[in-house]
Structure formats: C-alpha cells, structure tokens
Amino acid sequence: MVSFPIAPIFIPAHHTDWTNKAIEAGADGLIYDLEDAVPYAKKNISRQELLKFLGNNKLEIPIFIRINSLETDLGKEDYSAIKEYSHKNLHIIIPKIENTEVLRGIERATKLIALIETPMAIQNISEISKDPLIKGLLLGPADLSASLGSSLSWNSLLFSRSKLIIESAINNIVPIDGPFMNLSSETGLKEECKLSKDLGFRSKVAIHPSQIEVIKNSFFPSEDEILEAQLIIKAFKESKEGVISFDGKMIDKPLVEAKEKVLLMAGLNPKK
C-alpha cells in the first residue's frame, strides 16, 4: 500500500479560488469536483477553467479530480481533457462506478480512485478493486444511503464500509472513508474518525476546512505510535525468529506489516 493523503478536501471545480484556504487549513490532498458540486450549465467551462488553473499553478500536493460518470458524455469529455494534464500525483475519481466495463479505453498509466456509492458497486466491489488501474476505494455515504433508504449513521453503513476495507486489504489499495456531513458537530466527526480508523481506513475526506485538523489529528500516528512501530520493525528484522516478544507482546509478521502501515501513514519509509 502506498502513502496517501490523510485529509484530502473536496473543492468545487468552479471555485479554484478556495485552493489556498484549503492548503492553509492543512489539507494534504485536493479533490477538485466536476460532478455534484458543479451546476450543469457550468460543467464545461468549469473543466476548462480548472485545467487552466492547474496548468498555471504548480501545486506540490496530490491532486484528485472527480469527473462525471464515464457512462455520460460529460464524463467521457472530462477524462479526454484531463488525461492531457500531466501531474505526478494526479488521480482521477470515478463516480457511480458499478463494474469495470466503464474503464475500457482508459490509458493504463492512469491512476484511478473508485467511488463506491451504489448498492451495485457494493455487490461488485471485488471485481472493481481487482482492476490494476484502481489505486483506492472511496466510500460515497450520501449517495449510498439514499440508494439504500438508510440513514447516514455509522451502523447503517457498517457492512458497506467493512466490504470496502476487506477488498482494499486483499488488493493492497487504499481505503478512503467518505465525508462526515454534519459540519456543526465536531464531536460527531471525532467519533466517526475513531470508528473509521479502528475499522481500517487510512484516510477520510473533508468537505470543509474546519474538518481537516480533526481528521489529521485522529488518523495521523502519534509520536509514541511511530516510535513503537520503528522499534518493533527493527527488533523483528534483527531477529532470526518468526515470532518475537516485544514489551511483553507477541510479534509476528502480520503485526510487523501493520506497523509498517503506521509508518507509511506518517510519511516514513518502513523499509529503511
């Protein structure tokens, strides 16, 4: 699994002027949205202005662009235009994906994030996550709950989140939790971040700058967690045994791999 932004934030593609505010708030990834956040009448001009903005501003942090559905002409036009934009950290987010048929014709070097937001996507999540173009799975809780007729509560979407975590682990891709929609509840955001991290998510998207610090503080490993991970990995490397004892705990290879993920989240190379 690669290192990945912990708190990327959604920015409507027709509001690129919000970029600096997002970066100043601590966003470690920017998700420019060409889909739901942009009025239909502004979609074509927003795409043009976004690519012009990105071409004129050499942003150093990872860039994500959520295009329109690839089953629509708008989505196909989005992809055709965006594939010409060169950025080493660019990922394209594919909304409403329900199978891999829509990925035919996508260039093999393209890095995609699958937005899992329909019941059919949950049913076909194994097929979707196996595609070599897919580098991560992002939960779309609002659309998914609307399709299911459920609430946005943690328990209502726990099965879907669990499926996403399992398939991400099997295919060594990044699991990204969807946004917490209640902007007025910092306590609720903190609680959901803890549940999300405990389940196995490594990232959670923000929809407002005020959410970024809470998400980063919740997901980013503490100094004690980083130090423990480094010591465990070092002790295991120096041992010739398959299982070791560390600080009264039994440590084997799966636990070491878990500690390596901790260092990746902290932006550190666990192999050094």
Average pLDDT over residues 95-101: 97
Q: In which region does residue 181 sit, left (phi positive, over 0), alpha (psi from -120 to 50) or beta (all else)?
A: alpha
Task: Indicate the SS3 state at residue 146.
Answer: helix
| E strand or H helix that includes residue 113 | strand 112-116
pLDDT in the model for residue 3 = 60
The count of other CB atoms within 10 Å of the CB of residue 101 is 10
Out of 28-42, 76-90, 102-116, 225-239, pick the least confident. Answer: 76-90
Q: What percent of the chain has pLDDT over 70?
A: 98
Q: What is the DSSP letter of 161?
A: H
Most confident of the ranges 83-97, 198-212, 249-263? 198-212
Residues 6+ apart with CB under 8 A from 177: 139, 161, 192, 196, 201, 203, 204, 205
pLDDT in the model for residue 88 = 65
Residues 6+ apart with CB under 8 A from 63: 29, 30, 32, 54, 87, 89, 90, 91
Global pTM value: 0.89
pLDDT in the model for residue 1 = 46
Cross-strand pairs, 206: 9
pLDDT in the model for residue 87 = 62
**Residues 55, 86 contacting (CB under 8 angstroms):** no
Average pLDDT over residues 40-46: 96
- 160 pLDDT tier (thresholds 50, 70, 90): very high
- Answer with the residue of higher pLDDT: 191 or 108: 191
- 37 pLDDT tier (thresholds 50, 70, 90): very high
